[in-house]
Amino acid sequence: MVWLGYLVVFALGFALGYAFLFYKNNDNRVRELENHLTALQGKYESYQQAVTGHFAHTAQLVNNLTNAYRETHDHLQRGARDLCADNQRHAGANPANAFIGLEAPQDAFPHPAMLNDDKFLASVMPPRDYATKSPEDKGTLDEEFGLK
């Protein structure tokens, strides 16, 4: 009968050990997932900073390019006005007048054709799905084409 007491104590110790091990493993798994989540959040934040920095630098480069274009345009316009101005040409023949001013309204530039523009669509022919053929020949889209 004493051996039954030992067996109960052993079973109780085994059950408590298993429960402690299971609880400890769950705690480690939670800690591991929290560490992984923290690492992912850090990577995401660094990615956001990299994207923000990239577009800030891109905007700066585009602004520099725009300013360089403006300076080049002004230089060419000034050079054409100063170097091509002489008494033998009248004001309309000066190449400086060929430059469109950077302050020109948007109406000065041609607009691309819009898909709903009737003048544009009138000149466009739809693609043909057939070659020239006699009236009794079947077209390639006919249901009986190629069937004998």
pTM: 0.43
What per-residue confidence (pLDDT) applies to 12?
Answer: 86
The CA distance from 50 to 56, in Å, is 10
b/e string for 30-46 if b means 16 or more Cβ within 10 A?
Answer: eeeeeeeeeeeeeeeee
Which token pair is 1? 């009968």
Please say whether the dihedral angle defined by the alpha carbons of residues 67, 72, 73 and 75, taken in this order, is positive or negative.
positive
pLDDT band at 120; cut points 50, 70, 90:
low
In sequence order, which residues have a C-beta less than 8 Å from that of residue 78 and are 6 or more positions away? 96
**What percent of the chain clears pLDDT 70, i.e. is strictly above it?**
59
Q: How many CA atoms lie within 13 A of 19 on its CB side?
A: 6
**69 neighbors 60 (Cβ within 8 angstroms):** no
Q: Which of 13-17, 85-89, 106-110, 113-117 has the highest mean pLDDT?
A: 13-17
Residue of higher predicted confidence among 131 and 83: 83
What per-residue confidence (pLDDT) applies to 71?
Answer: 92
Provide the mean pLDDT of the chain.
Answer: 77
Which token pair is 50? 């990299």
pLDDT in tens, 36-82: 999 999 999 999 999 999 999 999 999 999 999 999 988 988 888 78
| Full 3-state SS string of 3-40 | HHHHHHHHHHHHHHHHHHHHHHHHHHHHHHHHHHHHHH
Lowest average pLDDT, out of 73-87, 99-113, 120-134, goes to: 99-113
State yes or no: pLDDT of 34 exceeds 80. Answer: yes
